[in-house]
Amino acid sequence: MSNEEILDGDDHMQIDGHDSELQRSSKVPQGFNADYLKVYYGKLFPYDDIFKWMSYGNAGKHPACDPSYFGRREFSFSLGNDTYCRYQSFNSVTEFENSIKKNCPFKIDIGPVYRLHPAKRFAYAQSGSDGFAPVERELVFDIDISDYDDVRHCCSGADVCTNCWPLMTIAIKVIDTALRDDFGFNHILWVFSGRRGVHCWVCDSRARRLNNDERASIAKYFHVYKCGESGFKKVSLAGSVLHPFLASYTDVLRIYFEEKLLCNQSLLSSEDRYEKILELVSNKSITDELHDKWQGHRRSSNTEEDLNITRWEQLKHVLQSGKQKGLRRCVEEIVFLYTYPRLDMEVSKHMNHLLKSPFCVHPKTGRVCVPIDPAHCDEFDPTTVPTLSTLLEELNKRGDNSESSNELESTSLGQYITMFRSCFLEPLLKSCKEEMENAYNANLQQSRNSLSW
Amino acid sequence: MEIVGSRKPAADEAPILSLYRSAPQVEVILDDFERFAIDRLLVLKGVSDGLSRGKKPEEMEKLVKELWRTHMGHPDASETRNKDIISHFILRLVYCRTEDLRNWFLSAETTLFRCRYRLQNLETQRMLLAEFDFPYKALSQAEFEVVKEKLVQVSRSIGLSPNDAAESVFFKMPFEEVSDLVSSRKVFLLKGYAYVAMSQVSSPVTKQFRRILSKALELTNRKWTSISQEKEKNRLTPIVESLSSSYLGPDYSQHQESSEISLRDIDRLANNSFPPCMRHLFEKLREDHHLKHGGRMQLSLFLKGVGLKLEDALTFWKAEFSQKVGTERFDKEYAYSIRHNYGKEGKRTDYTPYSCQKIISSTPGVGDHHGCPYRHFSEENLRAALTKMGVGGHAMDDIMQKVQTRHYQLACTLTFEAVHGISCDTGVNHPNQYFIESRKALELKRQPTT
């Protein structure tokens, strides 16, 4: 057995081969603590990449670059002793790196870029737009799978598995597509939140300059739910025709519902499950009819999977037969309720909302908050995301015969860093550079024009 | 704007609505100055009231039409336009001076503009777009064909007929210009642009109006405070300052749903949030189980404004009065007047709670407890009353100083600030306003800091 094969397996697996000395010293128990973090921050955290991202092209030598830009960004640290330090700011990547290595924060949040350097925020008496106020901030979204607890049966609360994760996948697809097609945004970063959800960072300059009202209006554009009586969520797709935004997703969502969720979650196989769906149909005679039909069902020759599919077809058939008005939309309403993205509106609405930085490690799971490529989000599996201890083991394995610059790439974190750079950072920086140069040249031209008679 | 003698501007071809981008070069007589301002202020006050009562857009448009006709109407159209523009600029002077005043003015003027714009027919609206230098052009036929299907779809999804979309003119603009339409998915979005129908164009036009006015107010503020205020010390300044402090704010006769209070809470609320005038009346009522007419009026209307329902009010007053005069006499002699206050008797006027101005100008006699403590109490009694509320030290001195210079409302504002530990930019103009601000301040303190 090679070392790799042993270590790739479960950490609790019994090791009974040779080289046990080496294996014992490289094996790292699962966990999350300051010592592990120290190594992580010492060798793996991508300071330079985050710095380049947060600088949006201002870290260069071009005359249009604003050297104060990075320093006006707020970061905040959650330290081990329950301390929370806001308004951290750094003037260079070195300051940034040194501070993190020194403080070893359990969590790093990223805030907005302010008009003034955060350290000087008390020096100015004025409030409002003239004083210490945010001027730029990415448009962000937070999707948490615990918001879907009423529609998933495999897990609840903080747990997540490969059966319910497709809910996040479909959320990424819908929101990512809409941000690009409807709103014209291009530089979008999706990040695994470390445990049970995803964050979205829209980094186009147009997005960074949106004010609170505009952010709220985008969040509302995506919002589809009404709260019915007793907080029970409901989707009402009123009107004979849907807005093109909703219409464009009805097929995608329905396919997801039918191919992934229906069977993964066994939505119709048992009484308590199908009751929940029948509750959404407002026509009693139909629900009674189906209830009787399904309750009496005893055939065991059908697999559970077939059962779900058959019943869904029956339900669809009855609802779409067009006999009753107002039921035609019922199928879509059910599909939307189960699959449509559920966003946390408050996170998106405010420029000064702090959001966890990518590449942090989640304290409860030890998993790194890695980026997700929206074009391949189907392949993402939250249960295989590298953990702190796995990474440390990988580092141990390499021993002392590696250069620090290769260390990162040699671990399983490497592929995520590569993806971060190629799918997101490089196109973003290229675009920032172009924008900056164009604006600079335009200004130059204008001042030349005004000088000439 | 030169204000010299009296001369009407030539009959102009000025449009019905204005963006008020520049002050008119016109002369106004001083009498008109104040009169125009007050008339417009009444319109704005009506608009502001309508908004705070949650009126729907169609109701607001009706309201604005009525208010405009009543206060700004004139048989000669050019006179109306004249008054419109002049009164707007005068009120800019009045309302540019603090952030709260600016926000109120901005909100009321923006709503007024939107309603007036929407009240015009489509042809006039189109003309006004050109007049306003609206930066977005209508779609060409070719552009329209590309997105026609989607536009029809959106139209239908918001309940309009497909013909509306087919025949309508559409404008393409960045989605930021129409946040409200984006929120409610009433526009088609493509690659960052919103396709706005003629019937929806009031939205970006109003946004443009608001932007222009917001900047202008800041500029006016700077110019006024640095130059004109001193220069106009003997002429415009006194009028301008009195206009913004004259009571034209909400009349608090209808409380909001969320602010209804119950009898259980009343003692606590009195202790925490009543202004000194009402605290005194309340305490005396509890003490003596009686109040004379003036006090009953002042306190009971205040309680109505605060959210005390009629049944609870009757219970409350009965509980006190019956200890002095018995329940039978209460029912016979006093219940009627409470019901009268709530508009349930006689000519059924829903009386409005008294403003500070009214209370200050009242004349309490022997045995009366109403009026304004800052004006009507002796210094000793006033100090005692304020000490009971928790005011001391520097604040007490400042307040007494204001009382000596007869600035009673400013004294009350300082009291509010001392008691709650926060500043009150709008100043106290009405006991119910004091109450509402107090509840807000206490609510804010209860929330954990983020």
pLDDT in tens, A400-424: 555 555 666 778 999 999 999 999 9
How close B447 gets to chain A, by Cα (Å)? Answer: 16
By C-alpha distance, the chain A residue nearest B193 is A183
Q: Please choose, from the candidates A356, A375, A372, the residue with its C-alpha nearest in 3D space to the C-alpha of residue A364.
A: A356
Token digits for B431?
A: 């006991």
- Cβ count within 10 A of residue A228: 11
Token digits for B425?
A: 């930019």
Instruction: Tell me how far apart the alpha carbons of residues B130 and A449 are, in angstroms, rounded to a whole number.
Output: 28
Residues present in chain A in total: 453
Q: Place A184 in a pLDDT band, splitting at 50, 70 and 90.
A: very high
| Highest mean pLDDT (candidates A227-236, B185-194, B240-249, B390-399) | B185-194
pLDDT over 90, % of chain A: 46
Residue A332: the pLDDT is 84
Q: Place A129 in a pLDDT band, splitting at 50, 70 and 90.
A: low
Going by the DSSP 8-state scheme, the letter that residue A72 receives in this structure is G
pLDDT of residue A19 exceeding 70, the answer is: no
Residue B337: the pLDDT is 87
Task: Report, as an integer, the average pLDDT of B202-216.
Answer: 92
- The counts of H helices and E strands in chain B are 23, 3
Residue B68: the pLDDT is 92
Work out the angle between the directed axes of helices B276-288 and B293-306 (0-180°, nearest 10). Answer: 120
Q: Classify burial at B394, counting beta carbons within 10 Å of its beta carbon; exposed 0-12, middle 13-18, buried 19 or more.
A: exposed
pLDDT over 70, % of chain B: 89
Residue in the block written with tokens 């009974």: A16
pLDDT over 90, % of chain B: 32
CA gyration radius, chain A: 26
Residue B214: the pLDDT is 92
Token digits for B165?
A: 């979309």
Q: Indicate the helix (H) or strand (E) that contains A75.
A: strand A73-78
| A49, A136, A144, A407: the active-site residue | A144
Work out the angle between the directed axes of helices B276-288 and B431-446 (0-180°, nearest 10). Answer: 100
Q: Place B278 in a pLDDT band, splitting at 50, 70 and 90.
A: very high
| Highest mean pLDDT (candidates A238-252, B192-206, B398-412) | B192-206
Q: Place A216 in a pLDDT band, splitting at 50, 70 and 90.
A: very high
Q: Place A1 in a pLDDT band, splitting at 50, 70 and 90.
A: very low
Mean pLDDT is lowest, of A246-260, B65-79, B152-166, B168-182, for B152-166
Residue A14: the pLDDT is 39
Segment 6-45 of chain A within 8 Å of chain B by CB: none
Q: Please choose, from the candidates B202, B251, B310, B350, the residue with its C-alpha nearest in 3D space to the C-alpha of residue B53.
A: B251
By C-alpha distance, the chain A residue nearest B189 is A182
Q: Decide if A128 and B99 are in contact by the 8 Å CB cutoff.
A: yes
Task: Report, as an integer, the average pLDDT of B24-36.
Answer: 78
Task: Determine contact, residues A42/A60, Cβ cutoff 8 Å.
Answer: no
Question: Which positions in chain B touch A245 (Cβ < 8 Å)?
Answer: 185, 189
Work out the angle between the directed axes of helices B310-325 and B276-288 (0-180°, nearest 10). Answer: 50
Segment 243-272 of chain A within 8 Å of chain B by CB: 243-247
Token digits for A207?
A: 């997005």
Task: Report, as an integer, the average pLDDT of A321-330.
Answer: 70
Rounded to the nearest integer, the mean pLDDT of chain B is 84
Picking from A205, A208, A211, A241 by the largest number of B CB atoms within 10 A of its own CB, the best residue to mutate is A241
Segment 214-243 of chain A within 8 Å of chain B by CB: 214, 216-218, 220-221, 239-243
SS3 content of chain B, % helix, strand, coil (to 5): 65, 5, 30
DSSP string over A22-66? HHHHH---S---HHHHHHHHHHT--HHHHHHHHHTTTTSSSTT--
Q: Which residues of A301-328 are buried (b: 16+ CB within 10 A; e: fewer)?
A: eeeeeebbbebbeebbebbeeeeeeebe
**Secondary structure E strands in B132-209:** 170-174, 188-190, 193-197
Task: Write the pLDDT tens digit of every residue in A362-402.
Answer: 998 999 999 999 999 999 999 999 999 999 888 888 765 55
pLDDT of residue B283 exceeding 90, the answer is: yes
Rounded to the nearest integer, the mean pLDDT of chain A is 83
**Secondary structure E strands in B144-267:** 170-174, 188-190, 193-197
Token digits for B378?
A: 């002796």
Mean pLDDT is lowest, of A362-366, A449-453, B19-23, B45-49, for A449-453
Q: Does B239 touch chain A (CB under 8 A)?
A: no
By C-alpha distance, the chain A residue nearest B181 is A217
Mean pLDDT is lowest, of A207-221, B94-108, B294-308, for B94-108
Residue B11: the pLDDT is 38
Task: Determine contact, residues B275/B69, Cβ cutoff 8 Å.
Answer: no
Task: Report, as an integer, the average pLDDT of B328-351.
Answer: 84
pLDDT of residue A440 exceeding 80, the answer is: yes
Question: Which positions in chain A touch B193 (Cβ < 8 Å)?
Answer: 184
Task: Report, as an integer, the average pLDDT of A80-89.
Answer: 89
Residue A147 designated active-site: no
pLDDT of residue A125 exceeding 70, the answer is: no
Cβ-Cβ contacts under 8 Å between A and B: the total is 59
Q: Please choose, from the candidates A304, A241, A232, the residue with its C-alpha nearest in 3D space to the C-alpha of residue A273.
A: A304
> Is pLDDT larger for residue B10 or for residue B259?
B259
CA end-to-end distance (rounded Å), chain A: 82
Q: Does B5 touch chain A (CB under 8 A)?
A: no
Q: Decide if B157 and A243 are in contact by the 8 Å CB cutoff.
A: yes
CA gyration radius, chain B: 26
DSSP string over B279-336? HHHHHHHHHHS---HHHHHHHHHHHHHHTB-HHHHHHHHHHHHHHHH-HHHIIIIIHH
Provide CB contacts within 8 A for B438, sequence distance 6+. Answer: B272, B273, B416, B419, B420
Residue A142 designated active-site: yes
Residue A404: the pLDDT is 54
Instruction: Tell me how far apart the alpha carbons of residues A152 and A163 are, in angstroms, rounded to a whole number.
Output: 9
Instruction: Tell me how far apart the alpha carbons of residues B221 and A343 are, in angstroms, rounded to a whole number.
Output: 41
Largest CA distance in chain B: 85
Q: Classify burial at B67, counting beta carbons within 10 Å of its beta carbon; exposed 0-12, middle 13-18, buried 19 or more.
A: buried
Question: Which positions in chain B touch A185 (Cβ < 8 Å)?
Answer: 192
Going by the DSSP 8-state scheme, the letter that residue A142 receives in this structure is E
Instruction: Tell me how far apart the alpha carbons of residues B61 and B115 are, in angstroms, rounded to a whole number.
Output: 5
Largest CA distance in chain A: 92
Q: Decide if A245 and B189 are in contact by the 8 Å CB cutoff.
A: yes
Task: Determine contact, residues A413/A391, Cβ cutoff 8 Å.
Answer: yes
Picking from B146, B158, B176 by the largest number of A CB atoms within 10 A of its own CB, the best residue to mutate is B176
Q: Which long-range contacts (CB under 8 A, 24 or more apart) does B394-402 make?
A: B399/B374, B402/B374
User: CA–CA distance from A163 to each of A10, A167, A199, A261, A298 (Å)?
Assistant: 21, 9, 20, 8, 26
Residue B4: the pLDDT is 37
Task: Determine contact, residues B301/B354, Cβ cutoff 8 Å.
Answer: yes
pLDDT of residue A225 exceeding 80, the answer is: no
| A109, A138, A142, A393: the active-site residue | A142
Residue A373 designated active-site: no
Residue B261: the pLDDT is 81
Residue in the block written with tokens 């909400």: B250
Residue in the block written with tokens 């320093």: A71
User: CA–CA distance from A235 to each of A101, A241, A283, A331 (Å)?
Assistant: 47, 15, 16, 11
CA end-to-end distance (rounded Å), chain B: 47
Residue A187: the pLDDT is 97
Q: Decide if B192 and A185 are in contact by the 8 Å CB cutoff.
A: yes
Q: Does B183 touch chain A (CB under 8 A)?
A: yes
pLDDT of residue B423 exceeding 90, the answer is: no
Task: Determine contact, residues B248/B104, Cβ cutoff 8 Å.
Answer: no
Q: Place B118 in a pLDDT band, splitting at 50, 70 and 90.
A: very high
Mean pLDDT is lowest, of A51-60, B370-379, B421-430, for B421-430
Q: Decide if A181 and B190 are in contact by the 8 Å CB cutoff.
A: yes
Residue A403: the pLDDT is 56
User: CA–CA distance from A343 to each of A172, A198, A362, B163 (Å)?
Assistant: 11, 10, 21, 35
